[in-house]
Amino acid sequence: MAKKHNRFGALHKTLKATNYSATSGAAGEYFKYLKGENKLVILRKPGTKYLVRFNVGVIPFDIEPSAVSTAINSYQGTMTVMANNILAKFATLLTDAQMGIERDLTKTKEIPGFYPALAHIAVVTTSGITAGKQPKTSAITKEPYKAYPVRNGGVPYGRTIVGINDSAGVPITDIGKESEEDSRAKIMDLIKGKEVEGFKCIGVSFTPELHPEAGFFGIAKPTGDGTVTDIPTG
């Protein structure tokens, strides 16, 4: 599922302040983009074979996993071949188990409306790092900038206790207590800035889990033994 990101929020505010009359500068070029006059062209768009999506499973953070041995806790999400290849390249540092990825789809279930949390991993060849950031021109604002020739992929991640510590550095052994923040911290620690076989990870960003069907309809307030009524102070 595509997520909306307000990449040009400041430009939009500037354009709005001119009552959408800007004709020059970054705001003017951005207005041309909104009108379809400036086209966004992806010069290094990977071939379609890299963009093919397939399913993997993760245990959601928003759902309490069942402790029953036969329970299926993993929900299916998708990832691209590009994302999979990036993860495979760094597999000596970051494994499927540390991401909470389940590839056996018989051990997963399909839940409409579920989109897993994603770790967007950006990598550059070591030769690209050596060459330094190269001059480019924004197709939208027409302003010059410099950037590395980055490749990136969104890799799903979910609950796991493999190599995960809490905020105090103590290993987590109860998967029900592992949080999205715990996983993010571990992923960043394991891969950001690291170099493997001619590639370096120059950054990792995250998109949170989207689980719209959970808790919105027909879910009654918990009752009975074990229901918490206090506010934790620790």
Domain count, the chain: 2
Domain span at 175: 46-207
Which three-class secondary structure state does DSSP give residue 171? strand
Is there a domain that residue 113 lies in? yes
Q: How far apart are CA 182 and CA 1, in angstroms?
A: 24
- Same-domain pairing of 31 and 96: no
- Same-domain pairing of 82 and 165: yes
- Same-domain pairing of 74 and 158: yes
Identify the pLDDT of residue 220: 63
Strands 108-109 and 117-125 turn out to be unpaired
Residue 177 is which amino acid? K
Identify the pLDDT of residue 18: 77
- DSSP per-residue codes, 140-177: TT--EEEE---EEEEEEE----TT-B-TTSPBP--GGG
- Same-domain pairing of 28 and 107: no
Predicted confidence pLDDT, tens digits, the chain (234 residues): 444 445 677 777 777 777 777 777 777 777 777 777 777 666 677 888 888 999 999 999 988 999 898 999 999 999 999 999 999 999 999 999 999 999 999 999 999 889 999 999 999 999 998 988 888 877 777 778 788 889 989 999 999 999 898 888 889 999 999 999 999 999 999 999 999 989 999 999 999 998 765 544 555 666 777 776 654 444
* Phi, psi (degrees; rounded to nearest 5) at 206: -130, 145
- Same-domain pairing of 101 and 200: yes
Separate counts of helices (H) and strands (E) for the chain: 7, 9
- What distances in angstroms separate CA 46 from CA 28, 106, 114, one per listed residue? 30, 31, 27
- Same-domain pairing of 163 and 122: yes
- Same-domain pairing of 37 and 50: no
Which pTM was predicted? Answer: 0.75
Is there a domain that residue 6 lies in? no
Identify the pLDDT of residue 45: 78
